[in-house]
Amino acid sequence: MSKQTWLTGITTSGTPHLGNYVGAIRPAVEASRNPERGGFYFLADYHAMIKNQDPVLLRDSRQQISAAWLALGLDTERATFYRQSDIPEIMEMTWMLTCLTAKGLMNRAHAYKAVVQENLDNEAADPDKGITMGLFSYPILMAADILMFRATHVPVGRDQTQHLEMARDIAQRFNHHYGDLLVMPQAVVDDKASVLAGLDGRKMSKSYGNTIPLFETARKLRKSIMKIKTNSQEPGEPKDPEGNTLFEIYEAFASEEQAQAMRQAYADGIGWGDAKQQLFELVDGVLAEPRQRYDELMANPAEIDAVLNTGAEKARALSRPMLDEMRRAVGVA
Ligand code: TRP
């Protein structure tokens, strides 16, 4: 079997919340510690710029997200952890790929089409209202992120699988035209990946405003947890854990035995106030130590930068020769 190369991009928008932790950070950190895996983990800050053009927010978000991944134990010895914007070769490669990408392919991208549809629904004079070339062509940038490091496996959410197909399509065209230089990547979609419910029971997401931040003080965490929506069942009434937001969040952090004990407590009619207190204690127990580390890192950005600078060096040791090969292949070098 030939060697696998795993690669994960993290768009640096927003503040990490419990949903990001359960759905993305926890499984990725575990994978980074797996001796068979390692791989590439990068902060997709040029992707974040598509939606976020506030320089202060952009910088803050990248710092919070890097601190969170490091505090939660990303193995930066085994894995290569870097900022996309530190790898100028990715931008050069993006242009080469852009010249090989059919515009029609980009026309079909869901992210772009969704905004066009919204404009049509709102009867906007221009269906492309508010759409930048960044939004339109970002699947090409994403293809360069992936193809640069010859990634074979890319864990993504279902919403991103189309981008992986596009990356393959683009790579195939390049190879057909210039010779076999690029490696075909495949999406790895984990259908069992946990989707955490938010305060209101819908998927925890920044766009719904129903998130619980990952690293706030214990007091604030408790306050957020107390806001989780419950029904009007009284203490003493048996409760159904299935589809219950509070229980789902509990389960995402609990061991088998803890989850089983909580199921029993529901059957025995635990009050919502008690259940929330127990959820708080569980989550706080998991996050207390990383939180301390996170606060240290946030107070000392130079420490984060040092790790990311080392990551950039490791990454560029690969991206430079790769770009050289591509430059020769296309005839500019
Ligand atoms: N677009 C991805 C997202 O929104 C993030 C991303 C950027 C990415 N470049 C990537 C993911 C390369 C995997 C590989 O989630």
**Residue 146 CB less than 6 A away from ligand 1:** yes
**Residue 39 CB less than 6 A away from ligand 1:** no
CA 11 to centroid of ligand 1, rounded, Å: 6
Enumerate residues 6+ apart whose C-beta is below 8 A from 78: 32, 33, 35, 37, 38
CB neighbour burial string for 148-168, b if at least 16 within 10 angstroms, e if fewer: bbbbbbbbbeeebbbbbebbb
Q: Tell me which of 47, 62, 135 to substitute to probe ligand 1's pocket, judged by most ligand atoms within 8 Å of the beta carbon.
A: 47
CA 203 to centroid of ligand 1, rounded, Å: 20
CA 27 to centroid of ligand 1, rounded, Å: 16
How confident is the model at residue 260, as a pLDDT?
A: 97
User: What's the one-letter identity of residue 329?
Assistant: A
Q: All domains of the chain, ordered by start, with CATH? A: 4-195+301-330 (3.40.50.620), 215-296 (1.10.240.10)
The answer for 41, left when phi > 0, alpha when psi is -120 to 50, beta otherwise, is beta
**Residue 251 CB less than 6 A away from ligand 1:** no
Taking 70 as the pLDDT cut, the residues of the chain under it are 1-2, 192-193
Q: Locate the ligand 1 atom nearest the alpha carbon of residue 44 and give its number.
A: 7
How confident is the model at residue 2, as a pLDDT?
A: 61
Q: Whose CA is nearest to atom 10 of ligand 1?
A: 9
Q: Locate the ligand 1 atom nearest the alpha carbon of residue 7 and give its number.
A: 14
Q: Locate the ligand 1 atom nearest the alpha carbon of residue 138 and give its number.
A: 1
Q: Tell me which of 84, 146, 160, 207 to substitute to probe ligand 1's pocket, judged by most ligand atoms within 8 Å of the beta carbon.
A: 160
CA 326 to centroid of ligand 1, rounded, Å: 22
Q: Which residue in 235, 213, 233, 208 sits closest to 224, CA to CA?
A: 213
**Residue 44 CB less than 6 A away from ligand 1:** yes
How confident is the model at residue 190, as a pLDDT?
A: 78
CA 83 to centroid of ligand 1, rounded, Å: 13
**Residue 145 CB less than 6 A away from ligand 1:** yes
Per residue, what are the HEC states of 22-85? Answer: HHHHHHHHHHHHCCCCCEEEEEEHHHHHHHCCCHHHHHHHHHHHHHHHHHCCCCCCCEEEEEHH
Q: Tell me which of 40, 145, 148 to substitute to probe ligand 1's pocket, judged by most ligand atoms within 8 Å of the beta carbon.
A: 145
Q: Tell me which of 6, 8, 11, 135 to substitute to probe ligand 1's pocket, judged by most ligand atoms within 8 Å of the beta carbon.
A: 11
E strand or H helix that includes residue 188: strand 186-188
**Residue 277 CB less than 6 A away from ligand 1:** no
CA 277 to centroid of ligand 1, rounded, Å: 36
